[in-house]
Each structure stands twice: as structure tokens, then as C-alpha cells.
Amino acid sequence: MLFLIDYENVGNAGMKGCGYLDARDYVIVFYSEARRHMEQRILEQVTASGCAFEICKLCKTGKNALDFYIASRLGELIGGGYDGIGVIVSNDGGFGAVRDYWEKRAAHKRKILLASCVEDGIVSGNKNNERTAALRRLRENLSIGEYYSAYKEKTRTKEVLRRLFEGTEYEGRIGEIQNLLEDGGKTSKVVYLNSLHLFGRKSGLEIYHKIRECGELR
């Protein structure tokens, strides 16, 4: 995906989601002297992602000058053969005209999205890939009360397991044991099979029997 970021308009907030960039992406940050600083962690996320990265600083100030830069660079890239999804990251509604041109008027149409941040652009791209699915999961609205109840139960289970396996050779693997309980929904058959698969027959049976005999985990 191609991200053309109107940094003068969106600032650091528009860079949200940079941790999900990858080597297939192309990121261009357009900025001016008026807004020339960006948080170090964001810059490091962008460069660590392996994406193609460039910056474009405004030469002379003027009304909508940076917008013209973005529109011109987009045309330059598409004219040069780019045929993927383009995302203009800006809160400026005027870019709707740029999107409409490439999607409705251009001889060779292109999909151009408008987003307020990088993350919104990735999700709006509707790509059937792992990072889009991961972001959609993270953006799901959850019941605060239900989430907190599950959190308390998870904390209680961890403490029970800590006491149960304290002093044994498995005390350093409490996280793995807890995961097999949660993955199996605590049903005996699945916990039994998961124990043997994860720890081997001898250790798996030992762990399974300790769990089964513990009344606090039933």
C-alpha cells in the first residue's frame, strides 16, 4: 500500500498504526517548517518496518501548497506504474476530489482511500491478510465488565497454578499450562490431549493429573 501523509495536517496522531507497516508498503511524509518534528518512536517504527520511506518538505508556504504536492506526487507515482491501493492520510476533505478523479474519471482507474491515520488506511483497504485481520480484532468493541471478569478469572487461575506447581520442574512453564487450560475450555479431554502434545506423555500425564485433582481449577 502507498501512504501519502499530510503531516502538517495530521501530526503524530496520523502516524498511528505505523507498527503494522511492512516491506510491501511505501510511505511518503509531506511536511513543512511549521511542523517539522515527529516522535522518535514513530520514525523508528517506520524505518524498522522495512517499507520504502521518503520525505518531502514544502519549499515555499502558500494556501493548500502541501495538498498540491501530495496530489502531484500521487499522479507521478501512478504515471510511473504504481497500481496498488493509495492512501492519503489527512483530515482535509478537499482530497475527496483527488480520490474521485482516480476512481471515476481517470482512464486507468486506481483505488485511492482517505484516512485520518495509517491504521485506518490499512483497515479500509479491505485486504485479506494477517495484519488487517489483527487490526480489526484489536478495534473490536468489548464489554468492559465482561472483559474485567475474564481478566480477574485469568489472574486467579494463574495464582492457583503458581501454587500448584511451585517447587516442581514446571514452575517456569506456568504460562504454557495456563494457555492449554484456556485453549481447551477446561474440558478434561482437550486438556488431557493438549498436555500430552505440549509436554510429552510422562510430563503431560503428571501435569494433567495435578490439574484434575485441584478443586480450584474445576
- Digitized pLDDT (tens) for each residue of the chain, 218 residues in all: 999 999 999 999 999 999 999 999 999 999 999 999 999 999 999 999 999 999 999 998 888 899 999 999 999 999 999 999 999 999 999 999 999 999 999 988 999 999 999 999 999 998 889 999 999 999 999 999 999 999 999 999 999 999 999 999 999 999 999 988 876 555 788 888 888 988 999 999 999 898 888 888 86
User: What are residue 175's phi and psi, to 5 degrees?
Assistant: -60, -40
Q: Do 65 and 56 touch, CB atoms closer than 8 A?
A: no
For residues 39-69, b (16+ Cβ closer than 10 Å) or e, as one string? Answer: eeebeebbeebebebeebebeeeeeeebbeb
Rounded CA-CA distance 28/33 in Å is: 16
SS3 52: strand
Residue 206 phi/psi, 5-degree rounding, is -60, -45
Neighbours of 126 (CB within 10 A): 10
Alpha helices in 80-129, H assignment, sequence order: 96-100, 118-124
At residue 4, the pLDDT reads 98
Taking each helix axis from N to C terminus, what angle separates 144-165 and 174-183, rounded to the nearest 10 degrees? Answer: 130
pLDDT the model gives residue 46: 98
Q: For residue 83, which phi and psi values (nearest 5 degrees)?
A: -125, 20
Q: What is the pLDDT of residue 190?
A: 83
8 A C-beta contact, residue 4 and residue 28 = yes
pLDDT at 186: 59
pTM of the shown model: 0.81
In angstroms, the CA 92 to CA 114 distance is: 9
Query: How many residues in the chain?
Result: 218
